Amino acid sequence: MKLKKWLIGLLITFSALFLIFKFIAWPYLQGETKKISPQKVATYIENGMDLTVAYSSPFKKGRVIFGELVPYNEVWRTGANEPTTFTTKTPIKIIDKDLAAGTYALWTIPGKNSWSIIFNSEVPEWGVTLLSGGKETTRDPDLDVLQVEVPSNSLSAERENFTISFDHGNPVNLSLSWDETIVQVPIKR
């Protein structure tokens, strides 16, 4: 009987700790990380396209970004905190590949000379696993909808914070830039 009461007490204690973490500590930690890497939104509404990218924008702070903080040839959540999301309200083409209307997690694999840009149908709650110390992403490769390769170029001036923007033109380019690097992803209807 004492063992049963002890097990029930232990279960109640663990349940209470879990609920405190989930509803108090986790939201607090998420809010604190967003102070360091603020949320940003890039939009493009022209030429029959309605595109939105929501992301968190970390700062360089004197660090070497690509090849060190963000390793080459490994999946990156493309920003900080939750995965970056890409939303299109109409079907579009990424380079020459079709992408249906919808919201996608935008993952990347940075390389020295080119990047893989990945659109994934699942948008997980957080971009990395806590147990890996932030080194492993929560991306499920089985849910990748589209993947393209784009060249990586050097910026003329260093960019302190990670920035995603749309460069107007035909095609419009989704630009990702940080530190001394920029990649551009062509998008058309």
Q: What is the pLDDT of residue 125?
A: 77
Q: Which two tokens stand for residue 170?
A: 């035909």
Question: What is the pLDDT, as a whole number, of residue 25?
Answer: 53
What is the reported pLDDT for 176? 98
Token pair, residue 71, equals: 């390793």
Is the separation of the CB atoms in 119 and 106 below 8 Å? Answer: yes
Q: What are the structural domain ranges in the chain? A: 1-36, 38-188
User: Mean pLDDT per 10-residue run, the chain (189 residues)?
Assistant: 73 69 58 69 95 96 95 94 94 97 97 97 76 70 97 96 93 97 96
List, for residues 31-68, the tens digit of each pLDDT value. 555 557 899 999 999 989 999 999 999 999 999 999 99
Average pLDDT, the chain: 87
Q: What is the pLDDT of residues 113-125, one digit of tens each?
A: 999 999 999 998 7
Q: Quick check: pTM over 0.85?
A: no
Q: How far apart are CA 50 and CA 173, in angstroms?
A: 13
Cis peptide before 124 (omega within 30 of 0): no
Point out which residues pair with 55 in neighbouring strands: 40
The predicted pLDDT at position 95 comes to 96
Residue 14's pLDDT is 72
At residue 90, the pLDDT reads 96
Distances in Å between the alpha carbon of 1 and those of 5, 6, 8, 9, 13? 6, 9, 11, 12, 18
The predicted pLDDT at position 8 comes to 75
Q: Which token pair is 9?
A: 């007490």
